[in-house]
Structure 1
Amino acid sequence: MVDEVVALYDEAGEVTGSAPRSVMRARNLRHAASSIVVRDPLGRVYLHRRTTTKDVFPGLLDLAAGGVVLAGEDPAAGAVREVEEELGVTGVPLEALGVADYADEHTRYRAFRFVATWAGPIRWQPEEVSWGDWVTVEELVRRLDDEAGSIVPDSVAVWSEIVRSWHAGRS
């Protein structure tokens, strides 16, 4: 496996350099990542389980596809690449929903958030996704409230407010 070269970001959201992914993970260097929620025309959200071989939060449920922004890569282009790789979503516009910052003992990054509306089939990348299904926003909020420990904590942190606004009918 090739050790991807990742863009490093400062606290202000500016690119400050790059490092191999393995170094970024080992030193918990601040970087950027795309985070894409896929919704269907009915407004449901695609919830999937990460494989147990993922380097961060293996085996947990995730409401967002995504991944690191590579050195020299525009975050929007990274989002298009990631949602296609992980879930097979292609050829639809991604709506940018701003940025959010996340940090814990495993990872520190600026999340570039996007939403895609997709009516086609989902095709999992077997190295990254082991299961998935469409859930209503109501069901997702219930899981956020009752089963938060089963969902990737960074996705919960960067998406919870937006998902709750969808549930409240504000978008």
Structure 2
Amino acid sequence: MIAVYDRLGRVTGVEDRATVYRDGIWHASAGVLVRSTDGERIYVHRRTDTKMVFAGMHDCLAGGVVGPGEDPEQTAVRELAEELGIVLSSDDILPLPMASASWDGEWEGRPMRCHLFAYELRYDGPIRHQPEEIADGWWWTDAELRAHLADPDWPFVPDTRVLVDDLIA
């Protein structure tokens, strides 16, 4: 079950994840951009081929959908621990200046509507992938990530593409 939002970003209820994705119901996700402490590198990862949405695609945000009763900051901390094994408190992440955006697009021919909340963490510690969610990961400079994003055939999650220009220098 995940939290359901309206078009304006207000929580309106709860629905099964599969129904939300199938019917294009507004929901929210939170993601954390993990940068090295010197700010020079970003952690980029590839999602597993078994993910329900955006399977096998790359992303520079560790995150996921907002659960019932969660606020986006709680989701960000939870997902960071689940996906990358980085356990911390909400005091350790900072909302990015553009903090939120909305994506009203399509995925596999179906509508996908999501409010995105973005945070940043400066971190050089260990990273441990959750094998069910993350297939691989590596550190890239902003320029390396931009070079990959310039290739239209490079599979990168479309909702993060909404924010990526504001995320990287």
Q: CA RMSD in A?
A: 1.4
Q: Is the 8 A contact 1:102 1:158 kept in 2?
A: no
Identity between Structure 1 and Structure 2 (%): 41
Measured in 2, the distance between the counterparts of 1:71 and 1:148 equals 35
1:169 is aligned to none
Evaluate the alpha carbon distance shift between residue 108 and residue 126 of structure 1 in structure 2; reply closer, same or farther with a 3 A threshold.
same
Whether the aligned pair in 2 keeps the contact of 1:100 and 1:158 (CA below 8 Å) is: yes
Q: What is the CA distance between 1:133 and its match in structure 2?
A: 0.3
Shift of 1:161: 2.7
The one-letter code of the counterpart of 1:79 is A
Query: Pairwise mapping of residues 89-128 of structure 1 onto structure 2 (< 5 A)?
Result: 89-91=86-88, 93-97=92-96, 98-106=99-107, 107-128=112-133
What does residue 39 of structure 1 align with? 35
Within-5 A mapping of 1:6-155: 6-43=2-39, 44-91=41-88, 93-97=92-96, 98-106=99-107, 107-147=112-152, 149-155=154-160
TM-score relative to the length of structure 2: 0.89
Matched AA of 2:55: P
Runs of 4+ with deviation above 6 angstroms = none
Deviation at 1:147, TM superposition (A): 4.7
Aligned positions, number:
160
Q: What is the rounded CA distance, in whole Å, between the counterparts of 2:9 and 2:150 in structure 1? A: 30
CA pair 145-53 structure 1, distance change in 2 beyond 3 A: same
Structure 1 residue 149, shift from structure 2 partner? 3.5
Stretches of structure 1 that go unaligned for 5 or more consecutive residues are 167-171
Deviation at 1:151, TM superposition (A): 1.2
Shift of 1:148: 6.0
**Unmatched tracts of structure 2, length 5 or more:** none
Q: Does the CA-based 8 Å contact 2:148-2:154 persist in structure 1? A: no
Checking the alignment, whether the CA contact within 8 Å between 1:101 and 1:158 is kept in structure 2 is: no
Residue 142 of structure 1 aligns to a residue whose secondary structure is: helix
Instruction: Give the deviation of 1:145 after TM superposition.
Output: 1.7
